[in-house]
Amino acid sequence: MDGSISSSKDHSLQFSLAFQSKTVSIYDILETLKVCSGEPIPRVEYLPEEIETWRYIFDHLTKLFPTHACREFNNSFALLVNNCGYNRDNIPQLEDVSKFLHEQTGFRLRPVAGLLSPREFLAGLAFRVFHSTQYIRHASKPAYTPEPDVCHELIGHVPMLADPTVAQLCQDIGLASLGASEDDIKRLSTCFWFTIEFGLCREDSAVKAYGAGLLSSFGELQMSMRDYKQINSSLRQLQLKLPVTFLNFQYALSDKPRLQPFEPEVTAIEPYIITEYQSTYFVAESFEKARQQFR
């Protein structure tokens, strides 16, 4: 979403010729395509090595979802498996997923060649349009990608966009961006980053992931909650209960992230990085409360 980051097209030049050629071909299609309302999204024929990358990521993530992902994500993901061909051997097509998503919450997917400016991206959300890439990360770096790819969009974002409350939160952020100043766009983008992209939420007595950046990165998903589980386990052994307010703590080592309660005014000014794992995560008490706080 950050327009200051080098484009994925340039980034792909370091990859294999086959991957580079495929990425460029998708760009060529999208640069000449004008996607209008009701016009089918072009289908992509993925290479065998791209499907293998998808399979590797899919297998690692689906092992973590039952214990690490929030209830809403797991419910929606099951629907996508049953209705949109989500499985380890198939990269779903945006057109099929977009139709399903529109039936669930009114959101549509729109293909995009690469990173948009924050203002452009947020404006789409105001009209329940989510801009999505169609290329996949390179096989040499399957655990995390600093730029959005089809794994990030389809595995990370789509299940949560199929949840009515989260879909409304996305639209609320988008609506707030219309006509906003550049400073406000920056604050809204930061809130989006720490919620829809890298948000955690409380679920009963646990903390779960709902942010797409976490749910599409098995490396970061494990790291973001590993020490929380260790601390919570130790407290249970001492017959102590982790209180709601005990959310702001440092991980045991200095290079581990901290968890903080989601408060829009605080979250909006928190610095963030896109080239490596996050150092801070914000925990929402519930999606509905996050919506109320955002207003």
- State the CB neighbour count (10 A cutoff) for residue 181: 8
Query: One digit per residue, pLDDT tens: the chain, 295 residues?
Result: 533 333 333 433 333 444 444 444 444 444 434 444 568 999 999 999 999 999 999 998 999 899 889 999 999 999 999 999 999 999 999 999 999 999 999 999 999 977 789 999 999 999 999 999 999 988 887 766 677 899 999 999 999 999 999 999 999 999 999 999 999 999 999 999 999 999 999 999 888 999 998 898 866 666 655 545 443 443 344 333 333 322 222 221 224 678 899 999 999 999 988 877 788 899 999 999 999 998 7
Are the C-beta atoms of 294 and 264 separated by less than 8 Å? Answer: yes
What is the C-alpha separation between 253 and 168, in angstroms, rounded?
A: 37
Query: Residue 209 gets which letter from DSSP?
Result: E
Measure the CA–CA gap between 193 and 213, rounded to whole angstroms: 9
197 is in an annotated binding site: yes
The number of helix segments (H) and strand segments (E) in the chain equals 14, 6
Per the structure, the complete domain to which residue 39 belongs is given by 8-294
Distance, CA of 65 to CA of 110 (rounded, Å): 26
pTM for the complete prediction? 0.78
With respect to residue 1, please indicate whether it lies within any of the assigned structural domains: no
**Residues recognised as catalytic:** 152, 157, 197, 216
Query: How far apart, in Å, are the Cα atoms of 136 and each of 54, 129, 142, 151, 255?
Result: 8, 21, 10, 7, 29
How many domains would you assign to the chain? 1
Contact assessment for residue 136 and residue 50, using Cβ atoms and an 8 Å cutoff: yes
- The enclosing domain of 169 has a CATH number of 1.10.800.10
User: Is there a domain that residue 2 lies in?
Assistant: no
Residue 286 belongs to some domain of the structure: yes
Name which of 1, 137, 155, 145 is nearest 69 in CA terms. 155
Is 152 a known ligand-binding residue? Answer: yes
DSSP letter for each residue of 116-137? PPHHHHHHHHHTTEEEE-----
Q: Which long-range contacts (CB under 8 A, 24 or more apart) does 34-37 make?
A: 35/110, 35/111
Name residue 208's beta-bridge partners. 201
pLDDT value of position 2:
39
263 marked among binding-site residues:
no
Cβ 160 vs Cβ 208: under 8 Å = no
Q: What is the DSSP letter of 274?
A: S
Residues 26, 27, 28, 32, CA torsion sign: positive
